[in-house]
Amino acid sequence: MPASKTALALATAGFLAAAPAFARNDPGPATYDAALKDKTVVLVPMSTGEDLAQGWAHYVGDAVKAAGGKFEVRDPNWNTEAGAQAITEAINSKPAVIIVQAPDLQSYSKLFRRAQEAGIYVIQVDNPTNYPTEAFVGSNWTKLGELEAQAVINGCGPNSSKEIGLIQGDQTNSSSLDQYTGIQNVLKDHPDFKIVAQPDSNWDASTARSVATTLIQQHPNVCGIIDYWDATAQGTAAAIRAAGKTGKITLATTGGGEQADCNLLDTGVIDALVATDVPNQSRDVITTIKFLMQSGIKPGTVKTWLYTPEHITTKADIKNGTCWNLKDFAKSK
Partner 1 sequence: MTGWFLLLGRRRQEDTVFLLTILLFLTFSFVLHGFLTTGNIIALLRSVALLGILAVGMGIVVIGRGIDLSLVAILAISVAVFLNLLGQSYPIGIALLLALVGVIAVGALNGVLTAYAEMPAIFATLATGTFVYGLGRSQFLTQDVIYLPPGHDLFTAFGNARLASIPVEVVVFAFILVGAFLWLRFSKYGRYIYLIGDNLNAARNAGLPVRPVIVLQYVVSALLAFVAGLIMAAGIHSMNTRIVNSSLLYDVILVVVIGGIGLSGGKGGVRNLIVGTLLIGILLNGMTILDISDLYQNLIKATVLLAALIVDGVLNPRDEQTDQQGDI
Using CB under 8 A as the criterion, what x/- string covers residues 252-291 for binding partner 1?
Answer: --------x--x---x-x----------------------
Cβ nearer to partner 1, comparing 87 with 215:
215
Cβ nearer to partner 1, comparing 246 with 287:
246
128 lies in the site for partner 1, by CB under 8 A: no
Binding residues with partner 1: total (CB under 8 A): 41
Angle at 28 between CA 25 and CA 29, to 5 degrees: 100
Residues in region 181-210 near partner 1 by CB under 8 A: 197-200, 202-207, 209-210
- Residue from 171, 181, 280, 295 binding partner 1 (CB under 8 A): 171
Name the residue among 92, 127, 123, 90 with its Cα closest to residue 289. Answer: 123
221 lies in the site for partner 1, by CB under 8 A: no
Q: How do strand 97-100 and strand 135-138 relate by DSSP bridges?
A: unpaired
Cβ nearer to partner 1, comparing 50 with 291:
50
Q: Output the smallest distance, CB 70 to partner 1, in A.
A: 22
Whole-angstrom Cα distance, residue 238 to residue 86? 37
Q: Output the smallest distance, CB 81 to partner 1, in A.
A: 13
Residues in region 24-83 near partner 1 by CB under 8 A: 47, 49-51, 54, 77-79
Type of residue found at 147: L
Burial (CB count within 10 angstroms: exposed 0-12, middle 13-18, buried 19+), residue 329: middle
* CA neighbours closer than 13 Å in the CB half-sphere of residue 275: 27
- Residue from 218, 221, 295, 325 binding partner 1 (CB under 8 A): 218
Name the residue among 233, 126, 103, 110 with its Cα closest to residue 173. Answer: 103
Cβ nearer to partner 1, comparing 231 with 275:
231
Q: Where are the alpha helices (DSSP H) in the chain?
A: 2-22, 28-36, 51-66, 80-92, 109-117, 141-156, 174-189, 205-218, 230-242, 259-266, 278-295, 326-332
Q: How do strand 312-314 and strand 272-275 relate by DSSP bridges?
A: antiparallel
Using CB under 8 A as the criterion, what x/- string covers residues 87-126 for binding partner 1?
Answer: ----------------------------------------
Q: Output the smallest distance, CB 183 to partner 1, in A.
A: 15
Residues in region 228-257 near partner 1 by CB under 8 A: 231, 234-235, 237-238, 241-242
12 lies in the site for partner 1, by CB under 8 A: no
Whole-angstrom Cα distance, residue 159 to residue 263? 29
Name the residue among 271, 285, 276 with its Cα closest to residue 323. Answer: 276
**Interaction site with partner 1 (CB under 8 A):** 47, 49-51, 54, 77-79, 170-172, 197-200, 202-207, 209-211, 213-215, 217-218, 231, 234-235, 237-238, 241-242, 260, 263, 267, 269, 326
